[in-house]
Structure 1
Amino acid sequence: MDRRLFLKSALAGTALGAFGPAGRALAATDLLWMTWENLAKDDYLQPFLDGSDVALTKTFIGTDDEQFAKLRAGGASSVDLITPGLDKVSYYTASDLLQPIDFEKVPNANLLYDTFKKTGLGKVDGQTYGIPFYWGINPIVYRADLMDEEPDWSVFFEGDKYNGKLAMRDYALEGIMIAAMYLGIPRDEMFQMDDKQLAEVKKVLMIQKSKLRTYWNSIGDLTNLFATGEVVCAFSWVPPYYDLKEKGLDMGMAKPKQGVIGWCDTIAVPKGVEGARRDAVFELVNYLLGPTYGKKLAYGGPYAQSTSAARDEIDAEQQEKIFIKDLSVMDSFVWKENPPRYNDWVALWNEVKAS
């Protein structure tokens, strides 16, 4: 989720490489990729274009919902590659918008980390429609100079010492997931919670609200609250940790053993892509999962690719920064899913906030 910090909410279309009319006329295959701006930087993609007979146009998105709406409204006929969240792929498959990934044409997919090979997200009837692309975590970030010890999720529900100095993101899905992890609700039940379990969640969320300084929406606002000391601990994206650490503050990042919320975006191919365009798309997908792109993403993002293709070419410091130095962090990942009763989750969340 932290990658969205760097995006503009409006759509923007650009051409890459020799993408003027002349360049496009010379290319055998012309592809359009709808994606996040930070994934499609020119220098990330130029090595692929230099070695292929492809022209690539990029259309930037501001939200997952925007991307889905455009495809469902008929955009799938002109788009060759998209970047849905791992937990959002089911929306596309339910609307019959995607085709399965042809793994024979994507050999670098053999290098997917085991966590991504095992997940059932992005799949329907055993076939993969959204292949994991890049990922990260949403941890607890805290002022190490203003807290006695590394926190876990219990800091948001127990004790009084940090009352009024805690912050939680204003997002029902993640907020209720955190309460469920604190309560010890098993992962295989978390997104299928019954009325009794949701009542327990509501009870602890009411306690949590009494301890919060704020529910945050803007990561910039949260960063400022950390800087002033008004907030000492928050469920956060990663950027405040590095931003404030670089400014000399003693920051900490905690990955609770009860579970860490992981995020992952995928690459997916709309259903209507066929023939030479389809072959070119899978050639591009293979590049995006390969070592050249992975190394550029690791240092330029910095983000972790879903495969190990570039891992040995990344120094230890950068590996640690993008969470691939110690892959055991994935053992505690809880991937976001779409609860069947999500409307009830949102109603519960809003009721807590309004109390």
Structure 2
Amino acid sequence: MWHRLITAFLIGLLGLTSGMLLAQPAQAAGCTLTAIVWEGYTDVSFAQKFEQETGCAIKATYAGSSDEMFAKFRTGGGRTYDLISASGDITERLYKAGLVRPIDTSKLENYDSIFSPFQKGDWNSFDGKPYGVTFAWGPNVLLYNTEKVATAPTSWDVLFDPQYAGQITIPDNPMTIADVALWLGKPDPYDLTDTDLAEVKDKLLELRPSIRKFWATAGELANLFQSGEVVLAHAWPLTYTQLIEADYPVGSVNPKGQLTGWTDSWMISKNSRNVDAAYKWIDFILSGEGQKGVMDVTGYSGATELGVEAVGPERAKELFMDDLSLHEEIKMWQSVQNYDKWVQLWNEIRS
């Protein structure tokens, strides 16, 4: 009798194990999707759900600038990373370098939920084909310590106030040149002549003595505020979110008519070994859960109607997702034709 009970137990255990194996996600065990991204775009708070649903891990490398992102993605002919969260200043570079593949939108169940102006946007579509999928956007904002800067600034001129000398930080990124061009009243900050660049250089040289440090990542910028080294910054909304969560006295303003920003797109490497998994990741980020996850972590604006539903009308209005009015006002990062001169200028300022 006992041997029959033991046999029945073992058969039941075998059946249970088989059922568990059948219940596993369709993706093969050990699948790893690699990506180079801006900080926060693969946060565990929402990425874990994708991994549980697909059985595919997302392994991300953070970049501090678009140039760094492009250089790392290009390494190995685009075989190192499956995905890149490219901003509009490098999407065309990636396309022209032959590093990314056109997007088959039929593989994305949530593609139609993307705001119509963002579908096949000119920042990620080339030769009539989409090469990227827009999922997030936002402005470059002015952050300030509300205890050290009593009155909320209304323009970037506050960075030049002598009382804050040595307590200023700006991004270590040549695209910051576009911001300075706006401060100088240039109508198109991405189409600058040699004369324009000379004026920008003079303005940056004027600001240079007040700069405590050039920051590379949102986390580094948050640390500069928390350590008391800086009180004013040209920043991303992500740092504002991080500092608010840390109960730091921080304010954020969007100086009207003087904003640059970015519209970010997922692009898939032409040499990706995990194309199907890459499409699954993009579709997840376009979903309500994925959009909410990105917005909660970064404070950036989402790009889909599903995201609006997920965060609710009040939060969507705060993020300018109800009418996209802020997006239309921002001078979004885009490809720069004489970018080599921008890099040269920036290196001179940095040194």
Same fold (TM over 0.5): yes
Are the counterparts in 1 of residues 78 and 271 from structure 2 also a CA contact under 8 Å? Answer: no
Aligned to 1:209: 208
Aligned to 1:308: 305
Unaligned runs of 5+ in 2: 1-20
Alignment partners' CA distance in 2, 1:180 and 1:226: 26
* C-alpha displacement of 1:79: 5.9
* C-alpha displacement of 1:182: 0.7
Alignment partners' CA distance in 2, 1:240 and 1:273: 31
Aligned to 1:231: 230
Alignment partners' CA distance in 1, 2:171 and 2:26: 46
Please, what is the CA RMSD of the aligned residues? 3.7
- Give runs of aligned pairs for residues 112-127 of structure 1, distance below 5 A: 112-114=114-116, 116-117=118-119, 119-127=121-129
Are the counterparts in 2 of residues 182 and 258 from structure 1 also a CA contact under 8 Å? Answer: no
* C-alpha displacement of 1:133: 2.3
Aligned to 1:4: none
Q: TM-score, normalised by structure 1?
A: 0.74
* CA distance 1:297–1:344, shift in 2 (3 Å): closer
Equivalences, count: 323
Are the counterparts in 1 of residues 136 and 265 from structure 2 also a CA contact under 8 Å? Answer: yes
The letter for the 2-side match of 1:285 is I
SS of 1:262's equivalent? strand
The letter for the 1-side match of 2:212 is T
1:61 aligns with 2:61: yes
1:293 aligns with 2:290: yes
Q: TM-score, normalised by structure 2?
A: 0.74
Are the counterparts in 2 of residues 68 and 92 from structure 1 also a CA contact under 8 Å? Answer: no
* C-alpha displacement of 1:142: 1.0
Aligned to 1:177: 178
SS of 2:85's equivalent? coil
1:129 aligns with 2:131: yes
* C-alpha displacement of 1:180: 0.4
Q: Cα deviations across residues 200-220 of structure 1 (Å, max 9, x unaligned)? A: 21222222224x142332555
**Aligned partner (choices 148, 154, 157) of residue 157 of structure 2:** 154
Alignment partners' CA distance in 1, 2:256 and 2:333: 17
* C-alpha displacement of 1:254: 0.9
Alignment partners' CA distance in 2, 1:134 and 1:281: 17
Alignment partners' CA distance in 2, 1:83 and 1:29: 24
Alignment partners' CA distance in 1, 2:51 and 2:251: 41
The letter for the 1-side match of 2:206 is I
The letter for the 1-side match of 2:213 is Y
The letter for the 1-side match of 2:240 is Y
Are the counterparts in 2 of residues 136 and 323 from structure 1 also a CA contact under 8 Å? Answer: no
Are the counterparts in 2 of residues 81 and 269 from structure 1 also a CA contact under 8 Å? Answer: yes
* CA distance 1:270–1:243, shift in 2 (3 Å): closer
* CA distance 1:38–1:251, shift in 2 (3 Å): closer
Are the counterparts in 2 of residues 172 and 349 from structure 1 also a CA contact under 8 Å? Answer: yes
* C-alpha displacement of 1:122: 1.6
* C-alpha displacement of 1:28: 6.2
1:337 aligns with 2:338: no
Moved more, 278-287 or 330-339: 278-287
* C-alpha displacement of 1:140: 0.3
* CA distance 1:209–1:114, shift in 2 (3 Å): farther
Between Structure 1 and Structure 2, whose CA radius of gyration is higher? 2
Alignment partners' CA distance in 1, 2:50 and 2:245: 34
* CA distance 1:340–1:24, shift in 2 (3 Å): farther
Q: Cα deviations across residues 158-187 of structure 1 (Å, max 9, x unaligned)? A: x5454444332332221x112101111123
Moved more, 339-348 or 223-232: 223-232
Are the counterparts in 1 of residues 93 and 335 from structure 2 also a CA contact under 8 Å? Answer: no
SS of 1:98's equivalent? coil
Aligned to 1:17: none
Are the counterparts in 2 of residues 72 and 95 from structure 1 also a CA contact under 8 Å? Answer: no
Identity of aligned residues (%): 26
* CA distance 1:195–1:33, shift in 2 (3 Å): same
